[in-house]
Structure 1
Amino acid sequence: MNLDRFRGPVLALFRIVTGLLFLLHGMASLFGVFGGSRGTGHGVEFGAWPSWWAALIQLACGGFVLAGLFTRSNATIASGSMAYAYFVVHQPVALLPLENGGEPAAIYCWAFLLIAVLGPGSWALDSLIRRSRGDDSRAHTPTATRRAAA
């Protein structure tokens, strides 16, 4: 069974779920909803470095990635912010994520890097905009070139 045909939809679902979870985390941190920030029920202090800015990135980038709009740029920013969180907040406590509580930051960092590299998948506003402009840049990818040659 060839699973390649599911690549676009599965990547899109991965992007949607990851973006939604990141968006919800940002909402919890900024507005104190869903039991956050850190279970206090209150949002982080406006403008506080780095927590308020991280939450703002989570909210904005999570929403854009969820919608599949400017996906690669927003996924890159989200990945970088999670790398920063891991190395500045978690890693000084202990080396391993299991010991320093940095597992979510590490997973988000790599998940968003994957989205940035692979793109939004088939169900994204980016794809809809590209199709409406008549620009199918995927026709120039190595996979598309191999398929065309076959």
Structure 2
Amino acid sequence: MTGRLDSAQPYAVALFRTVVGLLFACHGAASLFGVLGGAAGTGGGTVDAGAWPNWYAAVIQLVGGVLVMLGLGTRVAALVSSGSMAYAYFKMHQPGALWPMENGGEASAMFCWAFLLLVFTGSGAFGLDRLLAGRGPERRREQDGSAADRTPVSV
């Protein structure tokens, strides 16, 4: 049983990455463009361009979410996204109460930890990171057949 689960791990990580990235991008799109119910606390509107920290958070959510969803620059995008959610939790939610259930910070806390996990796991299967890594110079040398130049591609 463990062997089957281990072999499915890259696919589970890819599914997790895709869903988390999509949900995060939806938050950013709602705040920036007023779609999907609009920005929280604006009555369905958008955040003002350049407004600290909401507009910057929304840009990180949209761009970071799309990058993570596609598996492109996953580790860096996940690190920035995780940090922005840690900031959101500790600066905006935690001063109101200790526990996320009390201060409304459940989404910030969950996104923070989900993205931190992706920093360590990478994109999993089907990520553009892996596709692009397969086209690098190491991969070309392998395809040319020069055995002396072969170096393993690590992802």
Task: Determine if the TM-score, normalized by the shorter chain, exceeds 0.5.
Answer: yes
Counterpart selection for 1:68 from 45, 67, 71: 71
Cα root mean square deviation, aligned: 1.1
Counterpart selection for 1:80 from 78, 83, 88: 83
Counterpart selection for 1:28 from 16, 27, 30: 30
Letter in 2 for 1:123: F
| Structure 2 alignment gaps of length 5 or more | 140-151
1:122 Cα offset (Å): 1.1
CA separation in 1, counterparts of 2:44 and 2:83? 27
1:118 Cα offset (Å): 0.8
CA separation in 1, counterparts of 2:62 and 2:74? 14
Counterpart selection for 2:16 from 11, 14, 17: 14
Q: How is 1:1-150 mapped onto 2 (pairs within 5 angstroms)?
A: 1=1, 2=3, 3-38=5-40, 40-133=43-136, 134=139, 136-138=153-155
Say which SS state the counterpart of residue 132 (structure 1) adopts.
Answer: coil
TM-score, with normalisation over the residues of structure 1? 0.89
Q: Which moved more, 1:40-49 or 1:86-95?
A: 40-49
Say which SS state the counterpart of residue 45 (structure 1) adopts.
Answer: coil
1:41 Cα offset (Å): 2.3
Q: Contact between 1:47 and 1:53, CA under 8 Å: does it hold in 2?
A: yes
CA separation in 2, counterparts of 1:10 and 1:132? 24
Kindly name which structure, 1 or 2, has the bigger radius of gyration based on alpha carbons: 2
Indicate the residue corresponding to 2:149 in structure 1.
Answer: none
| Structure 1 alignment gaps of length 5 or more | 139-150
Q: Contact between 1:32 and 1:40, CA under 8 Å: does it hold in 2?
A: no
TM-score, with normalisation over the residues of structure 2? 0.86
* Deviation by residue 1:8-49 (Cα, 9 ceiling, x = unmatched): 000000000000000011000111101111262211011110
CA separation in 1, counterparts of 2:82 and 2:135? 29
Q: Which moved more, 1:33-42 or 1:88-97?
A: 33-42
Runs of 4+ in 1 over 4 A off after TM superposition: none
